Chain A
Amino acid sequence: MPFKLVILWTDALIYLLLAVSIAYGIYAARHEHLRAPWRQVRRNPLAMAALVVLAAYIVTGLVDSIHFRMRLDVPRAQARHAIYSPQVLSVLDLLCAPLRTHVEQTYSAPFALYAFTPQMVRRPDGSHVLEYPRLRYAGAALKVPGDRGRDIAVRCLRGAVESLILWVAVAAAVAYWRVRRPGESARAAFGRLIRGETDTPWRAMLASLGAVILSVAAVANLGGAYHILGTDQVGQDVLFEAIKSIRTGLLIGTLTTLVMLPFALAMGVMAGYFGGWVDDLIQYIYATLSSIPSVLLIVAGILSLDLYMANHAAAFDNIAQRQDMRLLSLCVILGVTTWTGLCRLLRGETMKLRNMDYIQAAVALGVRSRRIMTRHIIPNVMHIVLINVVLNFSGLVLAEAVLSYVGVGVDPSMNSWGNMINGARLEMARDPVVWWSLAAAFLFMFTMVLAANLFADAVRDAFDPRMRK
């Protein structure tokens, strides 16, 4: 085999999360009380447009979660068995190979052909001059630097045409297979789609899909030839860094929830259902935890992990594993500090449910407590869990940025928006200002958090019984 699959801890968890989501989807489709609110979400144009954007992020994150190590080309005689590169790559790295490999010397502005900082260059005649050297990869195909404007325009036009073709194909497919009623012509179905006369807001979804396709096509056409968002201090393409950071953001937002959910659910439901000393104990635990400043807890957790990794260097033989462990532990620590809010909500709701007549009837039928909790109470508090999860997501993504900025976030060598912002602290102090790292991190994070918030609002509206009329 030319490669060896590497499954990092976070990869395994993300696959698990994917499996759980698919299982939930199948379960929800079979239960009317779950299907009805999702149907309401599906009718909300803004939410569905946001979902398309969110889906683009999720796909990027998933593609970035399939890791492997390439086999090194070593002559057969020299090696008994295959030797694999120590570098762990992901499928996304392959797809974005030009972005990844086009590494310049140092800073360069977006679409620049020359470096941002002057360097001492030795002339053929032996004299030294200070000048802005030509970049190695940006605009390498240009014969004359003056052609840059035209080249960019041509590439943009090509990208636009490509994306238009792709978009029309998708729209036609949607019109034919999803919108068309039996006996209706494809043309009429397309007309209804364009006029927005469909139950599911396909028009809004296609509009936001168009924006996504256009961005991807632009990157595909321009990314290899220029540094669209410039390069950072070590010459790495900023756009590539921002894209690689998507996985980090998604992981923080979802895995944290996955880590804390079992605690919050079990503790909250048990405290509310049993009351008495169980309730006292659980209340004591979360009151104690939530009164410790969370940053303090996170700092303590990360520092002790650092110490552990330093003492057991052998167990973390490559950089990917170290980054991964650090990310996972950050998720766990964030989970430990955020579960109390949900736990408190669930405790209150369970206390209310416990006195409902149908729970009393189940007790009178002789149903066991464990079964009452799993069959009656948990399904009836699931909407709170769901609302909490989607609302928490964006908060956690932002928390990662803040923590990395403070220096207790993910591994400093890992791509994350927080690290990009942290790095921008010094860049902003330069003159002229290096603004593109910060702008890229901001743009990517802002888009994702906005999409997540819009979607979360729609989910809450659909699932919160108080919002229903």
Chain B
Amino acid sequence: MPALLKIDGLKVWFDTTGGTVRAVDGVSLDIAAGESMALLGESGSGKSVAAMALLQLLPQPAGRIVAGRALLGERDLLRTPERDMRTVRGRRIAMIFQEPQTSLNPVMTLGDQISEVLPASWPRRRRRERVIYWLDAVGISDPGRRYREYPHQLSGGMKQRAMIAMALAGEPELLVADEPTTALDVTIQAQILDLLKELQRRTGMAMLFITHDLAVAYQVADRVAVMYAGEIVESADRPAFFGGARHPYTQKLFRAVPGRGKRGEMLEVIPGGVPSLTQEFRGCRFADRCDYAWDLCRTTMPAWRVESGHGVRCHLYGGAAGLSTPVAAPRPVAVPVREIGPGQPLLQVRDLKVHFPIHSGILRRVVGQVRAVDGVTLSVGTGRTLALVGESGCGKTTIGKAILQLVAPTAGEVLFEDTRLDLMTPSALRPLRRRLQVIFQDPYASLDPRMLVSEILEEGMHAQGIEVATAGRHSRARDLLEQVGLGAEALTRYPHEFSGGQRQRLCIARALSVEPRLIICDEPTSALDVSVQAQILNLLRRLQQELSLSYLFITHNLGVVEYLAHEVAVMYLGRLVETGVVHEVLEGPRHPYTQALLAAVPSIAGNRTGNAPVPPSAGLPRGEAPSPVNPPAGCHYHSRCPQAMAQCRTDYPAPSRISATHWVRCHLYPADTGPS
């Protein structure tokens, strides 16, 4: 197939005060017409920069294209003047971005924004018809009305659909999609991925899909290229790539993905971090983190070798035997992990409700309630992990904050070691706070940028009166750093000097500084790369075993749940719909919502052991979650449920017992006298 786009030796450098960053350092890539190419890489690997360079959208004047060609037909995109680029952007190559919230202009109607892509010479009526055609094509219902609406009137998934409509309205030959589903929920992600594949089939456009998620790459790509530290280290067709990845980095990435199959072992981690791109590399860029590296790797840059369409940049494949057999055999790295049995309940939450009043009008009268949490009952045992799973906006973070009394519960009980936390005054609660700690999602927002690491770690000890003497606090801070795998030299540094994963370790150390019994982990790994996520999950698991910690693990990543959790609670619109021991829920999901969540998770076939038996009737949920201000009557899920019955629209289902530990709230199952 002739190449539609041929990138050859692309180099993009950034001039910063810290030196020249070689963000993209010699990338060559071919994309055939109608092909879908996934560019896979962790953050900082240069994958987005490469795509921006294609459209000459690099931040100026810091970024510059140093070398290379990008041939779109006869035209070299890297040397096309700005005025001619305007005929390329949108018409021949279109781009969609990660954040649908910031990619649409909030003061323009959807119709006006999409019309901008269409030729200005078209009459207004024709443009309008075309826009409505595309809105319909991307699955936006009632496009005539949406045409006149503003971005804030659309949900996140709708905005991303609108972005896609805008990109496709110019009928491009190539669509560059930069992590288009990363900011979306898993059910919406599945919808968008299906939509992109469907549109690609219909229009025959090529797609360059940038992602960090192996499973997403498996779902969309015909071919996969892996980027590491500014260059492509492996590239192959999808079956070859997922059948047998060759580069040690890619192999490690596969083994770092958490899942149930790896439950009994520590996750594979890639030691160290991505090397600084300001240096000139002499050897292989991955050598410092590679298990197989030998002298040659550190002195000579590996050449790009291709055999039957599978290219790899590694010295392992330089031998006479060809590419199929690596020089050294991979060593299996698996550490058995001890399972902890169920213990005494440490935290019990009964019928917890958190409602936020909505004020309106001049007198600020309460006109409604956001029912963020609406009657949740759960318990966490000593040394156990309860995973709380749900889409964004379902109230799972609010539960965590209500347990910590960071937001005041509206009703219900929070019992911690037989103490009612919700009845205590702030000052009485203060000494108890050392027993419950929290780790947040964003490692960049959870450390005070103005404080030294030592001050951050000692703050809790100071507040709780642990280690009153300064010397004692210092030595304890050093011990904590060692416990989370950081050196004592970190004490005199500021948070901005650390990477995301290291910051998350600091957050864990801060939580541990007051010797807690329970840690509420609010999506602690969702902002991290796969290999770093593995490090943090391993650390959390090791700490649980050493210190008998309990975790309330709030997440939307079912792979993490399968790997770490003992019990699972699935949440939908402020209420729990299914709870049970991890294997019961994930292997035998009963609630249609749980089934849909599991079906929506992109998976690499053959890589996941024992795929969940999801009945084919489940399918993906329709549309998006309704607002918690005005939840649907009856079962909250009936508006999206493919199996909804008449009863679902009127009555909220009572709990049904599947087994001693497994409960579900759904009319499909006979009601039981639930644990009220």
Residues of chain A whose beta carbon lies under 8 Å from any beta carbon of chain B = 31-33, 356-358, 360-368, 371, 375-376, 379-380, 469
Contact = CB atoms under 8 A, between A and B. Distances in A.
Given A32-B494, A33-B449, A358-B447, A364 B433 contact: yes
A357 B445 contact: yes
A278 to B, nearest CB: 15
B62 A469 contact: yes
A124 B496 CA distance: 87
Interface string B423-460: 00000011101101110111001111111000000011
B463 interface: yes
A368 B59 CA distance: 43
Interface string B405-432: 0100000000000000000000001110
Interface in B455-496: 459-460, 462-464, 494, 496
Contacts of B436: 364
Nearest to A376: B448
Contacts of B464: 365-366
A66 to B, nearest CB: 37
20 contacts: A33-B450, A357-B445, A358-B446, A358-B448, A362-B448, A364-B404, A364-B437, A364-B438, A365-B433, A365-B434, A365-B437, A366-B431, A366-B463, A366-B464, A367-B462, A368-B463, A371-B463, A375-B459, A376-B450, A379-B450
A247 to B, nearest CB: 35
A160 to B, nearest CB: 41
A376 B462 CA distance: 15
A366 B448 contact: no
Contact of A361 (B429, B431, B462, B510): B510
Given A365-B463, A367-B459, A380 B514 contact: no
A380 B431 contact: no
Contacts of B462: 367
Given A356-B445, A380-B449, A364 B494 contact: no
| Nearest 3 CB-CB pairings of A with B | A357-B446, A365-B460, A366-B433
B267 interface: no
A56 B383 CA distance: 68
B507 interface: yes
A380 B449 CA distance: 8
B460 A366 contact: yes
Nearest to A371: B463
Nearest to A362: B459
B430 A366 contact: yes
A33 B494 contact: yes
B571 to A, nearest CB: 21
Nearest to B444: A357
Contacts of A357: 440-442, 445-446
Contacts of B460: 365-367
A380 B494 contact: no
Question: DSSP majority for the A interface?
Answer: helix
A380 B459 CA distance: 17
Nearest to B510: A361
A368 B406 CA distance: 13
A356 B460 CA distance: 17
B445 A363 contact: no
A174 to B, nearest CB: 24
A371 B437 CA distance: 19
Contacts, number: 75
B60 to A, nearest CB: 11
B447 A366 contact: no
Contacts of B441: 357
B625 to A, nearest CB: 23
A331 B609 CA distance: 75
A375 B404 contact: no
Contacts of A362: 448, 459
A361 B434 contact: no
A361 B433 contact: no
B19 to A, nearest CB: 16
Contacts of B494: 32-33
A121 to B, nearest CB: 72
B446 A361 contact: yes
A362 B440 CA distance: 12
Nearest to B407: A360
Contacts of A360: 401, 406, 438, 440
A118 B445 CA distance: 76
**Which of A33, A365, A367, A371 neighbours the largest number of chain B CB atoms within 10 Å of its CB?**
A365
Contacts of B437: 364-365
A365 B459 contact: yes
A361 B463 contact: no
A128 to B, nearest CB: 78
Interface in B570-592: none
Contacts of A379: 448, 450-451
A358 B445 contact: yes
Given A357-B445, A365-B434, 20 more contacts: A33-B449, A33-B496, A356-B445, A356-B446, A357-B440, A357-B441, A357-B442, A358-B445, A360-B440, A361-B438, A362-B459, A364-B404, A365-B460, A365-B463, A365-B510, A366-B429, A367-B459, A367-B462, A368-B463, A379-B451
Contacts of A367: 459-460, 462-463
Contact of B514 (A31, A356, A365, A371): A365
A357 B439 CA distance: 9
Nearest to B404: A364
Contacts of B496: 33
Nearest to B430: A366
A375 B440 contact: no
Nearest to A40: B17
Contacts of B401: 360
Given A33-B450, A358-B446, A366 B440 contact: no
A32 B437 CA distance: 29
Nearest to A469: B62
Interface in B43-62: 59, 62
B63 to A, nearest CB: 11
A362 B464 CA distance: 11
Contacts of B62: 469
Contacts of B514: 365-366
A358 B514 CA distance: 16
Nearest to A380: B450
B86 to A, nearest CB: 25
B431 to A, nearest CB: 7
B442 A363 contact: no
**Which of A32, A33, A361 neighbours the largest number of chain B CB atoms within 10 Å of its CB?**
A361
Contacts of B513: 365
A289 B62 CA distance: 47
Nearest to B427: A368
A414 B431 CA distance: 60
B667 to A, nearest CB: 39
A329 to B, nearest CB: 36
A375 B438 contact: no
Contacts of B442: 357
A31 B433 CA distance: 30
A365 B457 CA distance: 11
Contacts of B445: 356-358
A361 B507 CA distance: 9
Contacts of B431: 366
A349 to B, nearest CB: 14
Nearest to B446: A357
Contacts of A380: 448-450
Contacts of A356: 445-446
A469 B496 CA distance: 15
A344 to B, nearest CB: 20
A266 B496 CA distance: 28
A191 B207 CA distance: 57
A271 B438 CA distance: 26
B407 to A, nearest CB: 10
Contacts of B404: 364
B221 to A, nearest CB: 34
B626 to A, nearest CB: 25
Contacts of A371: 463
Interface in B530-584: none
